[in-house]
Amino acid sequence: MLMTPGLALFYGGMVRAKSVLNMMMMSVACLGVVGLVWVLGGFSLAFGDSTAGLIGNLDHAGLRDATAVVGGDTGIPLQVFAMFQLMFAVITAALLSGAVADRARFWPFALFIALWTVCVYVPLAHWIFAFDGYVADAGGWMANSLGALDFAGGTAVEINSGASALALAIVLGRRRGWPQQPMRPHNLPSVLLGAGLLWFGWFGFNAGSALAAGAVAGNAFVTTMTASAAAVLSWLALEHRLDGRPTSLGAASAAIAGLVGITPACGYVDTFGALLIGLLAGVVCQLAIRLKYRLGYDDSLDVVAIHGVGGLLGMLMLGLVATDAVNAAGADGLFYGGGFAQLGKQTVAVLAAMTFAFAVSFLLAWLVRATVGFRVDAEVEAEGIDEAEHAETAYDFMPLSTTARLHDGARLHEGTTP
């Protein structure tokens, strides 16, 4: 719950002053929209009894059974588990907003998120997070039939948000003037504050995925810290080499890249594996950002490069550095004598998640664009989306020029309380 407002600050600081509220509102919209969709039926479709490993059912729609528990002897109430899983769904949706910064209309974005949660997030979460016998008798195909490893969301959260963001960025098109006009971040302290909240929340995200306060959770905690710390250092070192300075935006981005990379692996690798994943994430994600200028798609806040590529890296690295010494439910990767088998399973999961998320998101975004329109007018984009979409501006630069009025048009008199 801390992470989505943290993401709002992280993303809000990265856009221009004239669109910070719209950027933050997209995160708030996800808390509202995904929260409702999840309670009403999303959770049940993701974790209910499976049809062919593809989708759950509506047995838990409405989440009204306060006595149900999950996983037999864990004793975790179903409602608690549903709320924990909801936070993954919310932040994944909110991540997508980074690809459409400065140019998406508010209500069409909210509509897209509602459709996307049902059609993209829910099936993917079912595939990888729904295990046989945990909430329902039959779970998802990736988790059970395939045996791919994903501890805290490399597929359903990271690769999913990256691939879906790419689809959104392509359907919406570039911001006007990108990449010629400067669109530099307007508030880097906000970016760092947001990154800090995300980093903190991520411990709950990763260690919490052990669903018990034991050794596996402890290991996930340590590997999460190790990877993000390593990513900060490798990112800054490469940045200094390429651009001449280590930057604060680089440090904030690096922490997120490291956290993304370790997310699928945190419960299945030891500290050495985490260190390797973190170091690589700081280098690979940064190089991936530079690619968007070559390929020409405007993924404004680099969701594809950080979440898509970072998630891909973490999932594939699992095939190399996973070790069942830290978690009996895991497997041995190539470096630990497990051969190529796990790497193969990881590759299948990655390809399936990427293809599915990109294709369905592209279709949904196209549908929203064709029916209600997705982008703001050129004039609004130039003058500031905050004022046009929300009738607000984040900062009062010229207090002398405002006059207060009641909404019905009556002028406020001195001493009148609005």
Of 185 and 278, the one with the shorter C-beta distance to other proteins is 185
Q: Rounded to the nearest whole angstrom, what is the least distance from the CB of residue 302 to other proteins in the complex? A: 7
DSSP letter string, 129-177: H--BTTTBSS--TIIIII----SS-IIIIIIHHHHHHHHHHHHH-PPTT
Using CB under 8 A, which residues numbered 181 to 210 contact other proteins? 182, 184-185
Looking at residues 269 to 288 of the shown chain, list those that interact with other proteins (rule: CB under 8 A). Answer: 286
> Segment contacting other proteins (CB under 8 A): 99-107, 237-245, 270-278, 405-413?
237-245
Q: Rounded to the nearest whole angstrom, what is the least distance from the CB of residue 247 to other proteins in the complex?
A: 6
Site stretch for other proteins (CB under 8 A), options 126-134, 239-247, 255-263, 382-390: 239-247
Look at strands 76-77 and 69-70 and give their pairing: antiparallel
Residue 76: enclosing H or E segment and its boundaries?
strand 76-77
Residue from 57, 247, 271, 347 touching other proteins (CB under 8 A): that is 247
Which residue, 78, 67, 231, 263, is CA-closest to 160? 263
> Residue from 2, 83, 211, 249 that binds other proteins (CB under 8 A)?
249
How far apart, in whole angstroms, are the C-alpha atoms of residue 253 and residue 147? 31
Question: What is the number of helices (H) and of strands (E) in the chain?
Answer: 16, 2
* Span from 42-50, 131-139, 180-188, 362-370 in contact with other proteins (CB under 8 A): 180-188
Q: Please, which residue, 298 or 389, has the CB nearer to other proteins?
A: 298
Three-state secondary-structure class, residue 282: helix
- Least distance to other proteins, CB of residue 243, Å: 5
In 3-state terms, what secondary structure has residue 195? helix
- Interacting span for other proteins (CB under 8 A) from 69-77, 168-176, 219-227, 240-248: 240-248
Backbone angles phi, psi at 201, to 5 degrees: -65, -30
Contact between residue 61 and residue 39 where contact means Cβ atoms under 8 Å apart: no
Minimum CB separation of residue 402 from other proteins in Å reads 21
Among 72, 75, 244, 415, binds other proteins (CB under 8 A): 244
Nearer Cβ to other proteins, position 23 or 152? 23
Query: Could you give the 3-state DSSP secondary structure of residue 351?
Result: helix
Residues 355-374 that bind other proteins (CB under 8 A): none
Strand pairing partners for 130?
none
Q: Which of 102, 299, 302, 389 binds other proteins (CB under 8 A)?
A: 302
Among 32, 62, 177, 179, binds other proteins (CB under 8 A): 179
Does the footprint of other proteins cover residue 250 (CB under 8 A)? yes
Interaction mask 317-356, other proteins, x per CB under 8 A = ----------------------------------------
Q: Three-state SS for 69?
A: strand
- Cβ 34 to other proteins shortest distance, Å: 28
- Which residue matches tokens 């009738």? 391
Which has the closest alpha carbon to 26: 123, 112, 125? Answer: 112
Q: What angle do CA 377, 380, 383 make, to 5 degrees?
A: 150
Contact in structure between 331 and 320 (CB atoms under 8 Å): no
d(CA 113, CA 371): 15
Which of the stretches 88-96, 194-202, 241-249, 355-363 binds other proteins when contact is defined by CB under 8 A? 241-249
Across 284-312, b (16+ Cβ under 10 Å) vs e yields bbbebbeebeeeebbbbbbbbbbbbbbbb
Spatial distance between the Cα atoms of 173 and 176, rounded to a whole number of angstroms: 9
CB of residue 308 vs other proteins: minimum separation in angstroms? Answer: 15
- Choice from 119, 289, 334, 341 touching other proteins (CB under 8 A): 289
Q: Which of 64, 245, 407, 413 binds other proteins (CB under 8 A)?
A: 245
Residues that bind other proteins (CB under 8 A): 179, 182, 184-185, 239, 242-245, 247, 249-250, 253, 286, 289-290, 293, 302
